[in-house]
Structure formats: C-alpha cells, structure tokens
Amino acid sequence: MNTDKRKVVLIGTGMVGMSFAYALVNQGGICNELVLIDVNKARANGEAMDLNHGLAFAKSNMRIYAGDYKDCKDADIVVIAAGVAQKEGETRLDLLQRNTEVFRSIINPVIKSGFDGIFLVATNPVDIMTRVTYELSRFGASRVIGTGTSLDTARLRYLLGDYFTVDPKNIHAYVIGEHGDSEFVPLSQVMLATKSVSEILADEKNDYKIEDMQSIEEQVRTAAYKIIEAKRATYYGIGMAITRIIKAILGDENSVLTVSAKLCGEYDSKNVFIGVPCIIGRNGVKEIVELSLTEEEKAKFQKSRQVLEDNFNGLEL
C-alpha cells in the first residue's frame, strides 16, 4: 500500500457518498487525493467542481476530481456508496438483489485497474453487500470492510449520553449484528466510564430504568425508518461514519469501531460479514474484539447472523 500519498476513490456520488466527501474535506488532513466516480458522469463532474470551490475555505488542501476506474490503481481505499437508496417502508434486505447487480459492474473494473488497497462498503444491505464485495474481489477478509453498525453505535452512544447526562465519549457501548432490524445492544457490555450500566440500573438510589434502555435500543433500531419518513433518506450521519473509519485506516489508529467484518470462528460463527467491534488500522481489520456475551445475547447474535446467512444464500452471484 502507498504510504506517502493518501488517495481515496469514492464510487457513488449520491447523498451518502457526497455527505462523506463533504465531511472529509471539512475535517481536513485525512487524505490528499479524492476521486469521484459515478455511473452518472455529469453528476460526478458537478460534485467535483462544487467541492473544489470550497477548498479555499477548507483546513487543508486536497486534489479532488471526477475520474474513472483506472484511477483506483494506486488508491489506498475505495469507498462504495453506489446503489439504490432505501424507499419508505422498504427493508434494507429488499435492496439486495438490485444492488448486487450494481456491484458486479463496479468491483470487476476496480480489480482490473490493479487496485490493491482496502474496500469500504456503505451500500445497503451493508453486511451482505460487503460479503458480495469480498466474494467478487477475492481480497483477503481484513481488506474488505462494511460500515456495519458504526452509525447505529454512534446513535446509541449519543442517546445513552443524553439519558445519563454524560459525554457520549465516556459511554462505551455497541450495537452489534446486522445493520438492520435484527441488530441489538448487548446491555451486559454497556459501560459508563468503567462502571457497568447494569450495575447502575440495579442501584435503587437512582431513577434509571431498564425499560428506558429498551426504549433507547428501539429508537436506535428504528432511527433510519424515522429519518427516511421525514426526509426520504439518511446521509449526514453515515457520511461522518465513513469519514471516521477512513481516518482510523489512513492514520493507522488501531481504533475500535463496529464495522462489518468477516467472522472466522469469533462469536461461534464463520464466513458471515456482520457488525462487531473491530480494531481498525492501516491494513484494515487488525482484530475482531469478541465481547463476553450472556446466553441471551449470544442467542440474539445467532438470530441476526442467520438473517444475514439466509439472505446471502438466496443470492445469485
């Protein structure tokens, strides 16, 4: 992988892709070259012009241009946000077959370019699209990552921080499983600083209630549906989640983020790509962090894994 230049190619310059690009430019210093590719070339061109016109106000300089698949050759990361957006009432899994065809038309030319970096997938249903990327690219699993439950985890930490009136940065909690209806929060693993939230809830001296945790979990699970109902699509949050993952990779941070990664025996599961806390660095997934789940949480995880397995198995690749 290239070390002195940090080059990212974005495929799919729709709302999600461009929210990511906008966050990347504004946060500054994460990469110095950004290539925009879309089946709608005029759109990619217009977006490159628009972003470039903001560079005078940005923290650091970047080379931004609309490009082609051959530009993936020396890229560090290819981000895929191309596809069809989720419609009102439509589940993420309904999108599967349509987006698989889109991916076939993307992965093949990326590989043909000689690309040898890391794939980061945001297109829904993200866990399955990440596995499709893995199968089509034949890259090592550590170099194929999905955004997984990174956004859901950010939503959870925000809501818990608000509930306990604590900075979300001091709330350690994860949403794991499918980025979708079967995702869940292992409550046994939720910490306020280093204190277990289960312990806090059991303490009769305060008014915190287990039902409120269940309500927060439900709010996280249904957040995308609510946003889509109100404004047709979600994009800012996921754009910032993609930016965060890229920063962890290019900065070799070894940060823990809940991305979609391939399990190889962790959580008693194999082959599936699913949202779990992972240590993310320059070479992608360095390690999958295996949480000590309760028996009930293990059952929820297996249920979520099965949803992903069933959907993947029904797919013609």
Pick the closer one to ligand NAD by CB: 87 or 270: 87
Burial-class residue 224 by CB neighbours within 10 Å (0-12, 13-18, 19+). buried
Pick the closer one to ligand NAD by CB: 48 or 106: 106
Active site residue 53: no
Q: Among positive and negative, which fits the CA dihedral 15, 283, 30, 223?
A: positive
Pick the closer one to ligand NAD by CB: 86 or 269: 86
* Whole-number Cα distances in Å, 169 to 159, 161, 175, 191, 193: 12, 8, 15, 11, 9
Pick the closer one to ligand NAD by CB: 13 or 269: 13
Contact between 157 and 219 (Cβ < 8 Å):
no
**C-beta of 99: minimal distance to ligand NAD in Å?**
6
Q: Could you say which of 92, 157, 179, 221 is catalytic?
A: 179
Distance CA 103, CA 122 (A): 12
**C-beta of 203: minimal distance to ligand NAD in Å?**
35
**C-beta of 25: minimal distance to ligand NAD in Å?**
17
Contact between 267 and 276 (Cβ < 8 Å):
yes
Helix (H) / strand (E) containing 104: helix 96-112
Pick the closer one to ligand NAD by CB: 275 or 284: 275
Burial-class residue 19 by CB neighbours within 10 Å (0-12, 13-18, 19+). buried
Pick the closer one to ligand NAD by CB: 192 or 220: 220
What's the one-letter identity of residue 206?
N
- Chain contacts with ligand NAD (rule: CB under 6 A): 11-17, 38-40, 43, 81-83, 85-86, 95, 99, 102, 105-106, 122-124, 126, 147, 151, 179, 233-235, 238
**C-beta of 223: minimal distance to ligand NAD in Å?**
10
**C-beta of 297: minimal distance to ligand NAD in Å?**
22
- Angle (nearest 5°) at CA 17 between 11 and 19: 160
How many C-beta atoms lie closer than 10 Å to residue 3's C-beta?
A: 8
**C-beta of 208: minimal distance to ligand NAD in Å?**
29
* Whole-number Cα distances in Å, 105 to 97, 110, 151: 13, 9, 27
Contact between 261 and 285 (Cβ < 8 Å):
yes
Pick the closer one to ligand NAD by CB: 197 or 249: 249
Distance CA 135, CA 238 (A): 24
- The residue whose Cβ lies closest to ligand NAD is 14
Task: Calculate helix-pair angle for 126-137, 295-313, nearest 10 degrees.
Answer: 60
Query: CB under 8 Å to 305, separation ≥6 — which residues?
Result: 177, 267, 269, 272, 274
Question: Catalytic site residues?
Answer: 179
